[in-house]
Structure 1
Amino acid sequence: MKSKMMLAIAVSFVMGCSTVVHADEGKSRVAALFTQTVTQGSWDMAGYAAFKSMATKEGFSPSYLEHTTYESAPSVLRQLASEGVKLIIAHSSGYSSAIKEVAPSFPNTQFVLYSYESSTSNLSNYSAWSVDWDEYGFVLGALAATASKTGHIAVISGEPIPSAERTVQFIKKGAAYVNPKVQVDSAYVGSFTDVARAKEIATGVIARGADFVIPSADTADAGIQQAADEEGVLTIGSYTDQSKSFPSSIMTSTVMNFDKSYADIGKHFADHQLGNRIITENLSTGGWTLATPFTHVGKDVQDSVFKVIADLKAGKIKIED
């Protein structure tokens, strides 16, 4: 009972603190769910900025919720839909099961997931903008293996949610594509926010010989990047250009095109085109890219990685093989 009461208070507090007042009944109410704060890290912070921009452009009345756990998501989604929110965007693949549980009871609310989804379960009010994490992981694996001098790399993820598991699987495939003898260590922090634990794990894999560490733990990435910086190995920025954060160790950054995806979501909602569909975001659609120029490596490394990207776009590499 106490946890339910705290959840209700937390939802009311965050929505009450939203900078937008829901006084204009003529505007469609939209909301977004985030697993962490929208003022730190890169995944949620950039996603929130894109959500806010979309709402402004389309003239929606927005609110958002931070620190929404996967366990509490069904209750949060029900509350939002019951209060008349017409579009709810969940910014993590970990919210998939909650949406599929709640959406059938609220046919007048459109639910959208941004990150990864394999099926909308034929729900007429559920859509997903699904990043091709297979492709994403493959490129990261190829990148790390190309830059590595020891042939030993590592990937450290937050929690074993669907997108993370797919990413790790294809990092290993991409690394093996450029170096069949590469060693790939993988580990989960067990959290997207535990910076200290992430750093501890990263320091350990570096001590075992990894000279390139791929961070995939959202806010906890800072611990991984810090360990790489202190131990003199390479790493990357995640989701936004983070090169200024750890300039001595970040070689490049993956840059997700959140603005494009969220603008598409808003337009589809305004045009009544949402429901039972999955939109794939990948290199070819402009869903993400790599920041250039690469640093701390020769231009041949950058050229090799972008050759892999070009071959992926051209269909010359079949990553499912």
Structure 2
Amino acid sequence: MKTNAFLATLAAGALALASAAAAQDAPPRVAGLFTQTVTQGSWDVAGYAGFKAMAEAQGFNASYLEHVTYESAPAALRQLASDGVAMIIAHSSGYSAAIKEVAPSFPDTQFVLYSYEGSTDGLKNYSAWSVDWDEYGFVLGVLAASASKSGHIAVIGGEPIPSAERTMEFIKKGAAYVDPAVTVETAYVGSFSDVARAKEIATGLIARGADFLIPSADTADAGIQQAADEEGALTIGSYSDQSAAYPNAVMTSTVMNFAKSYGEIGAEFTAKTLGDKIVTENLASSGWTLSQPFQHVDAAVEAKVFAVIDELKAGKIDLYK
């Protein structure tokens, strides 16, 4: 009996060791959080493509959650971390507060935000790849004011999250840099997905004289771009080349280098170098660019915009004067 008991204990110990070894050999679990669906729109679709490519390149066990509101984000983050997810990437600046609330309780989970972050609050398990939305907005203002014939442009956002507010502020600065007399109207849809409401707002702005619309409302951008396409105004594609979808109206598209940013996140997680850091993504870092050639405008407009881009890269323009 003693021999049998000893053998049973030995077998149980061997099984436990085998289970532990298997757990160690299993690929790390990573998860992405997205505000909308990853199959429609531009921001989340392009971001998910970068997330998926990163996970495949690093051999991670990846999953994602869609339609995670900012209010429900703390609960979603806690659930994922409690379930053993090793890295959670949140694809919106609106998730910042939730990460800062939850991360201290899960020191073994790395939290990463892509979009905009001003401070990690010293958290050793929080990092951000932060787009320079000031620069981004400035360039959008430059291109809109350069292309506008009426001297009246408009910006339509989804919700007043930090990145949207900063973008709008610097769109005004960029427009004034080109034309101090330009009129810049701003509006919020109140949603990132209400295409009909976005189109209604855009149509009203065009009726008031705006001939260039800057969409900044994720899935709802479609309503803004549709209005421009139908009403004879110009607009841009957001975060990826959308010229084929709105051929009558898209002058150029902002193209975010999600592959670069997410690739760096994955590599740093594997190298265990994440934590308490902010990586700035801008023109100089190849974090984003504009698609070429510009459509529906004289070549001089494209030349003017890229001259400003070159000056920004070289540090010759002070955005904060």
TM-score normalised by the chain length of structure 1: 0.92
Task: Give CA-to-partner distance per residue, 1:83-110, whole Å, 9 cap, x none.
Answer: 1000000000000000000000000000
The offset of 1:283, in angstroms, is 0.3
Number of the residue aligned with 1:225: 225
Equivalence for 2:310: 310
SS at structure 2 position matched to 1:39: coil
Secondary structure of 2:149's counterpart equals: coil
Tell me the residue number matched to 1:109: 109
CA-to-partner distance for each residue in 1:20-73, whole Å, 9 max, x for gaps?
A: xxx996110000000000000111011111111101110110000000000000
Show the counterpart of 2:7.
none
In the alignment, residue 30 of structure 1 is paired with which amino acid? V
Instruction: Give the aligned partner of residue 35 of structure 2.
Output: 35
Letter in 2 for 1:44: D
Query: 1:151 is matched by which residue type in structure 2?
Result: G
Match of 1:195 in 2: 195
Q: What is the CA-CA distance between 1:316 and the residue it aligns to?
A: 1.1
2:270 aligned with 1:270? yes
Residue 319 of structure 1: how far off its partner (Å): 0.6
Q: Deviation at 1:314?
A: 1.1
C-alpha distance in 1 between matches for 2:315 and 2:260: 24
**Structure 1 runs not aligned, ≥5 long:** 1-22
Is structure 2 residue 134 aligned with structure 1 residue 134?
yes
Which amino acid in 2 is paired with 1:183? T
| 2:161 pairs with 1:168 | no
Aligned to 2:70: 70
Count of matched residue pairs? 299
Could you tell me how far apart the structure 1 residues matched to 2:24 and 2:103 are?
25
The residue type equivalent to 2:202 in the other structure is: A
Matched, 1:150 2:150: yes
Letter in 1 for 2:224: I
RMSD of aligned C-alpha atoms? 0.9
2:96 counterpart of 1:93: no
Whole-Å separation in 1 of the counterparts to 2:120 and 2:227: 39
Distance 1:266 1:216, change over 3 A: same
Q: Match for residue 260 of structure 1? A: 260
The alpha carbon displacement at 1:258 in A equals: 0.4
Q: Deviations over 1:231-290 (max 9, x none)?
A: 101000000000000000000000000000000000000000000000000000000000
The offset of 1:75, in angstroms, is 0.4
Paired letter, 2:264:
D
Partner of 1:53: 53
Look up the match of 2:239. Answer: 239
Give the match for residue 10 of structure 1. none
Tell me the residue number matched to 2:213.
213
Percentage of matched positions with identical amino acids: 74
Residue deviations 1:159-218 (CA, integer Å, cap 9, x gap): 000000000000000000000000000000000000000000000111010000000001
- Aligned residue for 1:185? 185
Paired with 2:199 and 2:172, the residues of 1 have a C-alpha distance of 21
Please state whether the residue corresponding to 1:202 is helix, strand or coil: helix
Counterparts of 2:24 and 2:209 in 1: how far apart (Å)? 59
Counterpart residue identity of residue 243, structure 1: S
Rounded Cα–Cα distance in structure 1 between residues aligned with 2:103 and 2:167? 27
The alignment partner of 1:229 has SS state of helix
Gaps of 5+ in 2: 1-22
Q: Distance in 2 between matches of 1:89 and 1:315?
A: 31
Structure 2 CA distance, aligned partners of 1:229 and 1:80? 42
**For residue 190 of structure 1, what is the amino acid of its counterpart?**
G
Q: Secondary structure at the match of 1:41?
A: coil
Letter of the structure 2 residue corresponding to residue 42 of structure 1: S
**2: distance between equivalents of 1:262 and 1:65?**
17
Tell me the SS of whatever aligns to 2:305: helix
Query: Matches of 2:280 and 2:254 in 1, distance apart?
Result: 17
Q: Which residue of 2 aligns with 1:83?
A: 83
How far, CA to CA, are the matches of 1:311 and 1:150 in structure 2? 26
SS of residue matched to 2:128: strand
Bigger Cα Rg: 2
